[in-house]
Amino acid sequence: MRMLLLAAALLALPTSAFATSCSARHKVCLHVCETQYSTSPGCTRYCGEALPVCLKTGCWKTPQANKCGYSKG
C-alpha cells in the first residue's frame, strides 16, 4: 500500500514546472522522499537509480514515471 501511495505521489509531481535538468529532477525527487516518504527507503533508491539513466538519455525513468526532455546536467 505504501508503494502504491509513493507511485501516485511521484506521478503527480509537476516535474516540468520544477525541473528542466536531470540534476534538478533528482533534487525534486529526493525532496519529495524526504518530506513525504521519510520511512520508505525505496523512494530514494528510485531517485538514485533514475539519475544516471537520465544523465545518459535525458529521460527520467522510474517504475512510476518515464518522462524525457531533461537536459543532461
Per-residue DSSP letter, 58? S
How far apart CA 12 and CA 57 sit, in angstroms, is 22
Please tell me whether the overall predicted TM-score, pTM, comes out greater than 0.85 for this model. Answer: no
Q: Which one, of 42, 30, 60, lies nearest residue 5 by Cα?
A: 42
pLDDT digits (tens, 9 = 90+) for 23-69: 999 999 999 889 988 888 888 999 999 999 999 999 998 766 789 99
